[in-house]
Each structure stands twice: as C-alpha cells, then as structure tokens.
Amino acid sequence: MRRFGHGLVLGGFCPPHAGHHHLVRTAGRRCERLTVLVRASSGDSPSLAERVAWMREIHPDAFVVGAVADLPVGLRDADVLDARLAVLRAAVPERVDAVFTSEPYGEELGRRLGAESVAVDQDPDPTRFPVSDAAVRADLPGSWDFLEAPVRAALTRRVVVLGAESTGATTMALALADHYRRRGGVWARTRYVPAYGREYGELKLAGLRAEHPGATRSDVTFRSSDFPVIAQRQAELEEEAARDGSPVLFCDTDAFAGTIWHERHMGTASAEVGEIAARGRQHLWLLTDHRGVGREDDALRPWMTARFLTQLAHTGRRTAVLSGPHEERLASAVAAVDALLAEGAHLTDRIAEGR
C-alpha cells in the first residue's frame, strides 16, 4: 500500500464521530505527517475552537488546524469548491501529497491541489460506522456510542441539585440518577457526582484525629481558602463523569452552590469560587425547598433557600424549585430534566457535507 509524505483530511466535524475518526486514523497510517483541517461557519455550534480542541485531543499525532469558511450567499455549485479551496490554501499553505476523503468531491479537490485523491470507505464492514453529523443532531442518545469522551463531555446535559442543609438534595440527585438508569440502553450509564465537600471534610477530620484522637466532626473548621479547593475538585469530578456517562449527568452541588456556602460560613463572597463557577458547563439547577423537610426552627435554612433563589435568578441560571413530599419533588424534577433533554444539545444544522 502506497505511503505519502503529507496527507490532508478536511471536514466540518460538527460534531466529530466514529466515521470521522476512522477516516483520520486511516490517513494517519498512510502518511509521514497528517494535517486535519476543521472548517466552520461563524456562529456554528459547537464552535470552531471546541471542534479543534476535540480533534487535537482525539488525534494527538495529527496537526489539527481550524478555519472559518463563510461562503458568500448565492454561489453557484461550480464556485463552491473554488471558495473552499481558497480557505484550504490559506489554512494549509504547504504542499499536500494526498487528500483522504469519503465523499465524491475528493477526486476533484485532489486534482485542484495537485495531490492524489484517496477514497476511504468502511470496508470490510460497511455497517461499522452507521452514523453521520445529521444523525447525531437528530438523535443524540442513539448516536452516543459513536462519540469520543471530550465530545460527550461537551454535549452531556448537566443537572445540579442544590439546597440548604437537610433539604434532601443528595437524596434527590441519587433518585434522579437511578430513575434515568432504569430507562435502560445508553441511559443505564447515567452518572451521579457526589458532593466533594463531604470527602474533604472527612480528610480534614482524619488529619485532626492524627493529632487529637478524640476529635469529632464538630471540631472540624473550614477556612476561606478551603472553598476554592473544594469547588475546583468538584468541577474536575463533574468533568470526569461527563466524559464517561450517558447524555445526562446529575451533580450533588457545584461551584455555584459553593459561592453560597462560602457566604453562609464565612459571611462574605469568594471571588475565586465565583470564577470557578463561571467556567462551569451546567444546564439546569434543581433547588430543594427547605419547607416540609428537616429542622423548621433553623433560621439559616430559609435564608439559604432565599439566597440560592436570588443568585440563581441574578445569574440567569435555568432553575426549577422542588417542593412537597419526595414523590412530588421527584416528578417535578423528572419533568424539568425531560424538558431540557427534549431541547437537544443545540447543535447547528449544516448543509450536507458528508459524515
């Protein structure tokens, strides 16, 4: 089988899936070096930067470059390839020896580049990658297994359950994860992310007991500097779970909730925790009402519920408040999550360019 010096693979990769990766890996095995050109239009979702980052992680041995290819409106079919070729040459000025594609335009593109056109199919099993960009956009859960970890992490709908102390947030997050797992199929892999603050507190208690064997949880104290550590680790655990679960992820708290807990314990806001929260990729916050559960004489619980509501609204976070008995709360939560999932991942529809 002939080998080439410099190979090229190009496409929209919106989003990248198993068919794309088969094409890139096939080209990589036949070239001394390989360039992958990711094309995008302005305003695409996922963004060009996201797609380039995904392809670089998934294909570390390839040189991945991105280019915005906004074609003028009203171009004749004969001019479309010329316009794309101009974008390609600007992004990849080096000589290309071979163009690897699985689309009909590959032969003409190769001719115009003075390169050999190599058609890549899915032999010996043509059903190995029964997926396309359009199929992913139309049925994300049905295409989930054809997506790599960084893409799944970006497309997972992330749901945070939060609330004042003893309002059932942990119980609700666990119940939701169990509910969706019971749906079977890809949903059986639904993940739950526990609140890292509890583990962090146990670590502090263990350290305290090493010096004072009789220490109890009431002896553990938190400093302001502890909260960014907890928030950052919480975000990391969430990201890890999103890369390896189903299209929905349930989180028992997040960094945003950490900003309120910092206020509750320290009396002031934490800019550092707020910065971590601002980088979050969550989509829905379920607030567990303090009324009807826990200690009714605790004045801090209604304060925290009110503070959560105020800040959720102020920051524009999509919110549903869960009230009533557990069964009623769970039904309300499932309805809110199903509504979120029904909206899809807001992927841009693209003109058919192949897989």
> What's the CA gap between 106 and 111, in Å, rounded?
9
Domain that holds residue 19: 4-130
The C-alpha atoms of residue 24 and residue 16 are separated, in whole angstroms, by 11
Tell me what percent of the residues of the chain surpass a pLDDT of 70.
93
> Is pLDDT above 60 for 94?
yes
- pLDDT band at 354; cut points 50, 70, 90: very low
Span 314-321, mean pLDDT?
Answer: 98
pLDDT for position 105:
80
In-domain check, residue 112: yes
Domain membership flag for residue 206: yes
Question: Once rounded to an integer, what is the mean pLDDT over residues 70-81?
Answer: 63
Which parts of 162-225 fold into alpha helices (H)?
169-181, 196-211
pLDDT score at 351 = 44
Number of domains the chain is built from? 2
Assess whether 49 and 174 both reside in one domain.
no
Strongest mean pLDDT among 58-72, 109-123, 259-273, 340-354: 259-273
**169-226: pLDDT as tens digits:** 999 999 999 999 999 999 999 999 999 999 999 999 999 999 999 999 888 999 999 9
* Residue bearing the bigger pLDDT, 84 or 191: 191
CATH of the domain at 323: 3.40.50.300
Tell me, yes or no, whether 12 and 67 share the same domain.
Answer: yes
The distance in angstroms from the start CA to the end CA of the chain is: 25
Residues 90 and 190 in one domain: no
CATH number for the domain harbouring residue 64: 3.40.50.620
What pLDDT band is residue 73 in, cutting at 50, 70 and 90? low
The answer to the question of residue 9 being in a domain is yes
Residue 70 CA neighbour count, 13 Å, CB half: 4
> Among the three residues 95, 130, 165, which one is the final residue of a domain in this structure?
130
Do 260 and 211 belong to one domain? Answer: yes
User: Are residues 271 and 325 located together in one domain of the fold?
Assistant: yes
Same domain, 118 and 225: no
